[in-house]
Amino acid sequence: MGAPPIRHGAALIDAEGRITAVGPDAEVPSPPGVPRTDWTRAVLLPGLVNTHTHLELTGFAGQAEETDFSAWIRRIRALKAERTPADFLAAARAGLAQCHAAGVTTVADTGDSGAVIEVLAEAGGSGIAYHEVFGPHPDQWRESLAGLEARVEELKRFVSARVRLGVSPHAPYTVSAELYVAVARYAAREGFPVAVHLAESEAESAFLSDASGAFADAWTARGIPLPPLPGRSPVAWLDAHGALGERTLAIHVVQAGQGDVARLVKTRTAVAHCPGSNRRHGHGNAPLAAFLEAGLRVGVGTDSVASVGTLDLLAEARAARALAGLTAEAALALATRDAARALGLEREVGTLAPGRWGDVTAIAIPDAETPDSAMERALASAPGDVLETILGGRTVYRR
Ligand SMILES: [Zn+2]
């Protein structure tokens, strides 16, 4: 990505798991004793980067069919309440295996079980685990923040060069203004990346702009005071509470106008674009072309299997292409180079270049004649076309 495709290309990965050379096979050193794998009729891509998963929800595909978004959220909550910590670990393991089988080597995952960061650590995986925090009542924020800090301290033991910890104040309809401010300060102090579900549904917009709609009704019924600072869009509202910024990943961002895009640019906030999930829940299409035109950092994400059924990141890249009229290369970049940039990991993953981690996905392309058609074929591939997935020089999946 970012350079022309190489015919008969090769990459050399060192014992530390970093790429040391990329180029035409004849020019890449082949030191004695270094195992060598040859693929024919395949394209090698950087390991794919999924900017939004909930791997602890693996196994819930087809179990939450509600069309109404609030009802769907309630269903997920009920399904999660039945799971034990061991269930969440098993789900996270299965989810990570699905990612590897689909060519994904790095995930940006949100959840509140703590299972995903543990599984990333045990599997030698790569990613950011954003630990979720909830708390809609303004009087709850100290307790919620203390709970988050305590959990984060426990989870720090799983952090490594490839496994990072972040925080995620879940969404404006589950988190009070006070809690956003407190979590944003905490994240800044600790240097944590932040992920927020933002501007996803029309109900969220109505909730923040004039305190109406399903979320407002639910809060009122529970005796929770409605959010302050009405009259704002979700993006403007979150900005007013200090939660946007260079280390913030805004997930979905469907309900956004020009002023919101300008605000995301100004604050250097990145976007996780999840077209399949947005469509599944009837939220509409995110203004992806406007994001890209404005120079926002954007990557594609699948969201959870409870929303989209399967973790097929290239399907999301194809949907993004259709939405914004992209070239095959630009669409693939949203699942590799640009996704890495959105997560602040562009010096680590997302491209095949010396110094990057040796994360490689080999995808079968039986009959591509030219580099351009190889790109097209790679983008059109299904998870079943992935021949091998290599993470830091180690095979984590082979067909
Ligand atoms: Zn999500």
Which pTM does this prediction carry?
Answer: 0.96
Greatest mean pLDDT among 145-149, 277-281, 301-305: 145-149
Q: Kindly give the distance from the C-alpha atom of residue 320 to the centroid of ligand 1, in angstroms, as a whole number.
A: 17
Q: Is the pLDDT of residue 228 over 80?
A: yes
Q: Kindly give the distance from the C-alpha atom of residue 65 to the centroid of ligand 1, in angstroms, as a whole number.
A: 16
Task: Give the span between the Cα atoms of 251 and 51, in whole angstroms.
Answer: 9
Q: Kindly give the distance from the C-alpha atom of residue 59 to the centroid of ligand 1, in angstroms, as a whole number.
A: 15
Q: Kindly give the distance from the C-alpha atom of residue 251 to the centroid of ligand 1, in angstroms, as a whole number.
A: 7
Task: Give the span between the Cα atoms of 103 and 313, in whole angstroms.
Answer: 9
Q: Is 353 exposed, middle or buried (0-12, 13-18, 19+ CB in 10 A)?
A: middle
What does DSSP assign to residue 45? E
Specify the pLDDT at position 295.
98
Q: Is the pLDDT of residue 215 over 90?
A: yes
Q: Kindly give the distance from the C-alpha atom of residue 132 to the centroid of ligand 1, in angstroms, as a whole number.
A: 11
Q: Kindly give the distance from the C-alpha atom of residue 205 to the centroid of ligand 1, in angstroms, as a whole number.
A: 17
Q: Kindly give the distance from the C-alpha atom of residue 277 to the centroid of ligand 1, in angstroms, as a whole number.
A: 9
Specify the pLDDT at position 71.
82
Q: Kindly give the distance from the C-alpha atom of residue 252 to the centroid of ligand 1, in angstroms, as a whole number.
A: 8
The label of the residue with tokens 């929800």 reads: 57
Specify the pLDDT at position 394.
97
Listed in sequence order, the residues at least 6 apart from 252 whose beta carbon sits closer than 8 Å to its beta carbon are: 197, 198, 199, 200, 272, 273, 274, 277, 278, 283, 286
Q: Kindly give the distance from the C-alpha atom of residue 191 to the centroid of ligand 1, in angstroms, as a whole number.
A: 22
Percentage of the chain surpassing pLDDT 70?
100
Q: Kindly give the distance from the C-alpha atom of residue 286 to the centroid of ligand 1, in angstroms, as a whole number.
A: 15
Q: Kindly give the distance from the C-alpha atom of residue 95 to the centroid of ligand 1, in angstroms, as a whole number.
A: 15
Q: Summarize pLDDT for 331-366 with one digit per residue, the tens.
A: 999 999 999 999 999 999 999 999 999 999 999 998
Q: Summarize pLDDT for 29-81 with one digit per residue, the tens.
A: 999 999 999 998 899 999 999 999 999 999 887 777 888 888 888 888 888 88
Q: Kindly give the distance from the C-alpha atom of residue 281 to the centroid of ligand 1, in angstroms, as a whole number.
A: 12
Q: Kindly give the distance from the C-alpha atom of residue 236 to the centroid of ligand 1, in angstroms, as a whole number.
A: 20
Q: Kindly give the distance from the C-alpha atom of residue 347 to the centroid of ligand 1, in angstroms, as a whole number.
A: 25
